[in-house]
Chains A and B, each alone.
Chain A
């Protein structure tokens, strides 16, 4: 079982780049520990800015730094970053076109038992609705590294959400399949398509493996790029399989499922089932317990797929 969280990888990549590029900067809102960024703050203190518990200021200061040529990474729990500082993300980052990368840590229901204040089940919808904002939810540590390397090369705004705990690998260290803004085909399949993002890609891959045993061929798309979404891969999958099931750690409004349904409905109508968190404060528990309760797991995906294939 992998013990390295995605946020740890983010710190590693930022340190590697920060050592040779003093314009790479990290900003935290009293969140360096929870973000695993203490090593960066210690080794490169001149490139680290602490703003205290002030997420609006976090984003605005990052925007000002970017306007003066810096490459700031504003890191804060996804719940606060995507709502408390929403207007700063909209105006100072996206609208002003500043090169700020917004890193939402402990996203989704990572802070399971802490309640709705600490959950970010609306961030895909909120951030995607802002013009000039890109949205990424990487699925494991290897993809997180590829994504970070790509983002360090560009100068456009982006929001990235990762979870709190280490997650099982979807990919391996060798030859991680990654192309910026293109969904990764985790497994090919011709009967049904699963489209997932973030931590739920792994259970989707597990479900596909279980279905293979039963003679059902499921395609799994890792849609880490929520915006711009890889429409071509969605349309291709919908055309080449009989139905599509999406699975996400997000509210049912405005997330992966909603966007995939729009694309499929517009280009090649097929049955689309959306598995998501409820439009309600979620039940208390760890991420795993919450996922199981709402059927965001391999077992329910297998059952749902079998039922859908009987119906279509």
Chain B
């Protein structure tokens, strides 16, 4: 499927299937990052089962590891995993398909789950690329609530100190976290200014669920030299169905039968709309 807008909705349907089958999952964040992951995996990065052992492959770290169902959907679509097997086993007793990234599975670089680790480990990967004269790029996706972790800023400091222009971070700026809005829990504005003051090139993606805008931003990041780039992607938590959108109660939640019916219908409609755009 080349239409990435439609693909993102199809992958949302897959993630919902996993959550329903596993009776658990961080559904809100899964939905908000789907275009980011789709654009990265199907347009920007040279990562696939065919080059997984290639030292020159791009690197990706899902720092907000709890968006694992979205990541499983993408990895399955890329051919790293079997979609039906993930759905059948996700979060079940003894399963290797757990709720956070685990690099015992193909396609996953680093284990995460605890927040504030992805940017610092990505800094290490980017330094290695520079030292070796390799041209791969390193991408990491963080949540906005995650930015309260001090270790994020240790990584941010080192990334600009070492001029890591091969590093691109994305903030899934959906403005919600488990206890409420980010601005109530621990204010993140002005996020752009914070990253700028740490020496980063900052790109605001007005609609972080828009493939075209994301593509333009990733291209700008690729052309930015001498400093790392962060995309502040303004997304909608629960994107895809009004049942979930911008609703703090959907941080992690399994839809009821009625909600599920509505969510599936909404996702299908949006996928079809995208196909006919």
What is the interface of chain A, defined by CB distance below 8 A to chain B?
A: 22, 25, 46-47, 49, 51-52, 54, 56-57, 60-70, 72, 87-88, 91-92, 95-97
Main secondary structure of the interface of B (DSSP, over half): helix
Q: How far is the CB of B151 from chain A (nearest CB, A)?
A: 5
Is residue B117 within 8 Å, beta carbon to beta carbon, of the partner chain? Answer: yes
Give me the 6 closest cross-chain CB pairs, A-B, nearest first. A64-B124, A60-B120, A68-B128, A57-B154, A61-B124, A64-B121
Instruction: Please count how many residues in chain B sit with their CB below 8 Å of the partner chain's CB atoms.
Output: 30
CB pair A92 B154 closer than 8 Å:
no
The closest CB in chain B to the CB of A49 belongs to B127
CB pair B155 A87 closer than 8 Å:
no
A247 to B195 Cα, complex, angstroms: 50
Interface string of B109-126 (1 = CB under 8 A from A): 111111011001111111
What is the interface of chain B, defined by CB distance below 8 A to chain A?
A: 55, 59, 103, 109-114, 116-117, 120-129, 131-132, 150-151, 154-155, 157-158, 161
The closest CB in chain B to the CB of A61 belongs to B124
User: Which residues of A are found within 8 Å of B120, using beta-carbon distances?
Assistant: 56-57, 60-61, 64, 88, 92
CB pair A87 B114 closer than 8 Å:
yes
Q: How far is the CB of A289 from chain B (nearest CB, A)?
A: 36
CB pair B110 A92 closer than 8 Å:
yes
A163 to B258 Cα, complex, angstroms: 64
Main secondary structure of the interface of A (DSSP, over half): helix
Instruction: State which of B55, B114, B122, B157 has its C-beta within 8 Å of the C-beta of A64.
Output: B122
User: Which residues of B are found within 8 Å of A52, using beta-carbon distances?
Assistant: 157-158, 161
A95 to B121 Cα, complex, angstroms: 13
User: Which residues of A are found within 8 Å of B161, using beta-carbon distances?
Assistant: 52
Q: How far is the CB of B220 from chain A (nearest CB, A)?
A: 24
The closest CB in chain B to the CB of A72 belongs to B124
CB pair A68 B114 closer than 8 Å:
no
CB pair A88 B117 closer than 8 Å:
yes
CB pair A62 B103 closer than 8 Å:
no
Instruction: State which of A47, A49, A51, A63 has its C-beta within 8 Å of the C-beta of B121.
Output: A63
CB pair A60 B111 closer than 8 Å:
no
CB pair A68 B111 closer than 8 Å:
no
Instruction: State which of A51, A63, A72 has its C-beta within 8 Å of the C-beta of B110.
Output: A63
Instruction: State which of B117, B125, B154 has its C-beta within 8 Å of the C-beta of A67.
Output: B125
User: Which residues of A are found within 8 Å of B126, using beta-carbon distances?
Assistant: 64
User: Which residues of B are found within 8 Å of A70, using beta-carbon distances?
Assistant: 128, 131
A91 to B111 Cα, complex, angstroms: 7
CB pair A61 B127 closer than 8 Å:
yes
Instruction: State which of B121, B132, B157 has its C-beta within 8 Å of the C-beta of A60.
Output: B121
CB pair B128 A65 closer than 8 Å:
yes
CB pair A65 B155 closer than 8 Å:
no
CB pair B111 A96 closer than 8 Å:
yes
User: Which residues of B are found within 8 Å of A57, using beta-carbon distances?
Assistant: 120, 123, 151, 154-155, 157-158
The closest CB in chain B to the CB of A22 belongs to B131
Q: How far is the CB of A218 from chain B (nearest CB, A)?
A: 45
CB pair A60 B103 closer than 8 Å:
no
CB pair B55 A67 closer than 8 Å:
no
CB pair B121 A56 closer than 8 Å:
no
Q: How far is the CB of B150 from chain A (nearest CB, A)?
A: 8
The closest CB in chain B to the CB of A68 belongs to B128
A25 to B128 Cα, complex, angstroms: 10
User: Which residues of B are found within 8 Å of A97, using beta-carbon distances?
Assistant: 103
- The listed residue with most A CB atoms (<10 A of its CB), out of B121, B122, B125, is B121
CB pair A91 B158 closer than 8 Å:
no
CB pair A65 B125 closer than 8 Å:
yes
A87 to B115 Cα, complex, angstroms: 10
The closest CB in chain A to the CB of B151 belongs to A56
CB pair B131 A60 closer than 8 Å:
no
Instruction: State which of A22, A46, A60, A95 has its C-beta within 8 Å of the C-beta of B123.
Output: A60
A57 to B162 Cα, complex, angstroms: 13
Instruction: State which of B109, B113, B123 has its C-beta within 8 Å of the C-beta of A61.
Output: B123
CB pair A68 B154 closer than 8 Å:
no
The closest CB in chain B to the CB of A90 belongs to B114
